[in-house]
Every structure is written in structure tokens, then in C-alpha cells.
Amino acid sequence: MSDDADQPDRPGERHDDADAPGRPAGSAEGGSASGGAAGSGAAPVEDELVTTHHVLATPDGELRYTARAGRVVLSGDRVEDGVWKGRRPRAQVGITAYTLDGADPLTRPVTFAFNGGPGSSSVWLHLGLLGPRRVVAGDAGAPEPPPGRLVDNPESLLAVSDLVFVDPVSTGRSRVVEGERAGDFHGFTADVESVGEVVRQWVTAEGRWLSPKLLAGESYGTTRAAALAEHLQGAGLYLSGLVLVSAVLNFGVLLATPGDDRSYPRYLPFYAATAHRHGRHPGRDLADVVAEAEAYAEQRYPVVLARGSRLTAEERADAVATLARLTGLSEAYVDRADLRVEHLRFFAELLRDEGLVVGRLDSRFTGPAASGTAETLEDDPAVDALLGAYAAANQHLLRAELGVEDTAPFHVFGPGVHEAWSYKEFENASVSVLDRLSRAMRQNPHLRVHVALGRYDGATPFSSAEDDLAHLRVPAAQRELVEHRYYEAGHMMYVHEPSRRQQSADLADFVRRATAR
């Protein structure tokens, strides 16, 4: 059942066990905790999990699997006057776990997956790429009419790894318990610690300490995954692999800052690829255009920017002409921009003469400009095209197929979380996890890293991730454990069907190699 037309728009054969309780509450090690909020006399806070059984048809045969969906209790230490008083419930975190029936837990890998934002639920990786069911939302230039479709995913990573999708606090259906502050979870370190505790509690409750374990993150989820790898391994939970989809590991050189020109070269290959996509490089191959932009970005462009007003008129004119040709923008615009094309302005400028903007998350997508004179992108046509289908499919999956009956809102993006996110740990410094990823790899010489990059990703451009990874402080031999895969799509490259199929195969191959013993 490899073609969408042949896949049923309903779950495979399954047995609902909706009345089956979740793992009992009260175990300090087991991912749940009894007692009311902060030890009060309120009703106990317990795991709320529903177990269902399913069958997925794949080209290699049937996969019989068990799904456990709902919320687990995130516990924390309760200390009063310096005395440890046991564990207290802090939040209920939404998870969906898929485990292959009959597999040996000592050898069966398990992958913990999450998206980014910060403030995004895991719905994108869950229903776009990794899970046994996936969304059909259409693609650039060919969107599905609302509400989209939910179909089987024969290419699911479940074929080679169990899967646990985690929605960080305030995303999805994850909520703090009474007496706790949601803001206490909305920050770099607090997020790493809370997601790490969810992972630890699940591994303990399910008896999976000897299973090979991997993390898969997308966007800010790659920031989290890099830091989480160091955090977990520091606590004795070593990993076999990291999957970084649309990686952002150093924020300091990703956004333009007055007086700091390092971000501009990092976007240039993306600009060139996008210009090629929209017909600005007729007769040329994408690879040829990107290669020229990469060479200029690595060699001549930084020198041009560093020279500032010391450029001669001839040097400046040559730079203007080169940048205009590569980016698809006019020479007049590049000159007015002082050779520094900012990405949000690029999205609004490239197709201005057609009354269109291009997408930030995926520049293959276009949409009508809100204003013909707007300086920057106001709305992302890629998000507009995809959000509705993913939200609707997720609601259907949880309630109709996985038996989760809670009617509380599911937040694809946690309200206000991104805006309130704290990076206090990086005061007066760039937000970067390169040191943490380097430390995790030095600590664990077997840790493999798979990096998936979209040519049309304007949120986390591929050349920026390449440059970050080239600066890992690890032995030369370990650099061979970091692999790059490229796709002719955007930030969520799996919405492009050929890319989704190739990426699924690439990930399955990576998991097999990372967990081989």
C-alpha cells in the first residue's frame, strides 16, 4: 500500500482497549505520582493513558503494534526546609508511544521525538514523517482542500524503532498541575530538564534501560536534542543516535544583528536555491546555482562585507551584480540594502512584481502579499497551507483511533510560549548548543548524528547548519559520525512526497547503523 490512493482513510485493523488504565500512579521511578498538587489534599494526579492495538501494512509485511496515548505525570522532588519529602506531581505531559508487539526490549531501539518552536507540539514529526499514520496535506502549488486526509504510513520509522512523541509543557495537551507555574517550564534549561525527566521516567516505567535509545528533534527541537543528549548522558542515560531535522545549533549567527555581518553569507545559498525555484536562473541546474552561491558565501562575500566603505567603486559594483544575480533581486535593491539582504525582507521582495510572497518555512510555497509595499513577510504561506490539515488529523487520530476522550483544547502551538521563552542562561552571549553537542559526542564516542537539511528552508538555512557542524570540538574520527542529507523541500521537507519517501529510507538506514551491536 505505497500509493496514497491505495491507502485507507481509516486505521488498520485494531482493537481498542479504552477502559484499560494507564500505568498505576504512585511510583517515584515510574513516570507517575500520586497526591494532589504540591502535596495538598486535592484529588490524586495520575497518568491518563489509553491502550489500543493496531496493524500497519508495509511492503515488508504487517507490523502489529500497541499505542499508548494520553498524559503522564511529570514528577519533581519536593524539598521542605532543606529536607527531601519525596516526589510531587508538577505537570501532566502529553505523549503518544508506539511499540512493536513481540519485540525484544533488550534489542529493540526506541526513538523519542519532539518538534521545536519553542512552543510547538510534536504533531509535525508525528503525523508528517515518523508515525504509523500520516497527514496528506498537499504540497506547494497543489494543496489538499480542507480538512486534508489521514492515511497509513508504510514508511513509518516504526519498522525499525519504537516511537515516543513528547509534547513539552503547555503544548499539545500538556498542562501544569494546580499550584505549579507554567512559566517555570518555558526556558532553555527548564525545558531540557523537564523533557529529560519524561524520557527517564518512560524508560524506567517500561523497563527499557538496555534498549538502544535515540532522540529526534526538528527546528528548536534540534537545539533541545543537542542539549538533552549531554543532559541525559550526564545522568547515565547514554544514546545511540541523534536525528536533527532542520538544525539550529547557534542562534547568534542566524539572525542579522547591527554590526555583525556573519548571518548574511549563511543565507545566500538558500536565497540562490529559492531564486532558482522561482525561475530566476533559467537554464541552470539547482546544484550548479547552489555551488556558486556557496563558494561566494565562503570566500568572497565575508571579505566584501568586512571591508565596508573601504570597497572601491568597482569592487562594490561587482558585489552588487553578483548578489543580485544569485538572489534574483534587482541590483538597485541589493545596492539600497548595502549588500546585506535580510531574510524576512527577501521573502517579501523576491516576487513583489507578481504580488506574491514566498514562504519562510518552505520557500517553494507562495501566497498573496498582504500589501504591495510591505517591507517584510507578514504571514507565512507555508504555515497557512499546512496547519489546518495537521491540526484536524491530530484531533481525529487522538479521539477516533487512539481513544483519548479528553475534550480539552490541543495546542499545536502553545499560546504565548514562544514569546515568553527564557534564555537567561545565555545572558550577554549567543544561544548556542555546539559546546553541549561536542561534549556529548566526546563523552560517548559511539554517538551518531544524522542531520536532515532542506534546500528551501528559510527558517534554519542549510548552509548555517553546515557551518555550525563544521565547528564541533570533537576528534577528527568522530566527525565521520555526523552525516548530512539534503532534500529539495523546506523546513518540513516531508511535505514534499519524493523527499518524504527518501527521508524515511534515510532515517531507517541511520537507525539500523546507529543501533547495530
User: What is the band of 255 on the pLDDT scale with cuts at 50, 70, 90?
Assistant: confident
User: What is the band of 85 on the pLDDT scale with cuts at 50, 70, 90?
Assistant: low
Query: Span 385-393, mean pLDDT?
Result: 96
Rounded distance between C-alpha atoms, residue 88 and residue 36, angstroms: 8
Rounded distance between C-alpha atoms, residue 388 and residue 177, angstroms: 29
pLDDT at 405 over 70: yes
Q: Each residue of 326-384: pLDDT tens digit?
A: 999 999 999 999 999 999 999 999 999 999 999 999 999 999 999 989 999 999 999 99
Q: 3-class secondary structure for 216-254?
A: EEEEHHHHHHHHHHHHHHHCCCCCCEEEEEEECCEHHHC
pLDDT at 15 over 70: no
SS3 state of residue 108: coil
Domains within the chain, CATH numbers bracketed: 4-252+386-515 (3.40.50.1820), 279-378 (no CATH)
Rounded distance between C-alpha atoms, residue 115 and residue 125, angstroms: 7
Q: What is the CA radius of gyration of the chain?
A: 24
H or E element, residue 513:
helix 497-515
pLDDT at 257 over 80: yes
Is 0.75 topped by the overall pTM?
yes
Q: What is residue 492's predicted lDDT score, i.e. its pLDDT?
A: 98
Q: Each residue of 456-508: pLDDT tens digit?
A: 999 999 999 999 999 999 999 999 999 999 999 999 999 999 999 999 999 99
**CA proximity to 451, closest of 486, 497, 499:** 486
Name the E strands within 236-310: 241-247
Rounded distance between C-alpha atoms, residue 284 and residue 80, angstroms: 68
Q: What is residue 21's predicted lDDT score, i.e. its pLDDT?
A: 33
**CA proximity to 334, closest of 321, 347, 315:** 321
Q: Each residue of 132-161: pLDDT tens digit?
A: 999 999 999 998 999 999 999 999 999 999
SS3 state of residue 17: strand
Q: Confirm if 132 and 154 have CB atoms less than 8 A apart.
A: no
Query: Span 1-17, mean pLDDT?
Result: 38
Asked which of 1-15, 71-85, 232-246 is least confident by mean pLDDT, the reply is 1-15
Q: 3-class secondary structure for 375-388?
A: CCCCCCHHHHHHHH
Q: What is residue 490's predicted lDDT score, i.e. its pLDDT?
A: 98
Rounded distance between C-alpha atoms, residue 331 and residue 348, angstroms: 16
State the average pLDDT for the chain: 91
Q: Each residue of 296-331: pLDDT tens digit?
A: 999 999 999 999 999 999 999 999 999 999 999 999
Query: Span 262-282, mean pLDDT?
Result: 97
Provide the sign of the torsion angle of the four alpha carbons 479, 481, 438, 474, taken in this order. Answer: negative
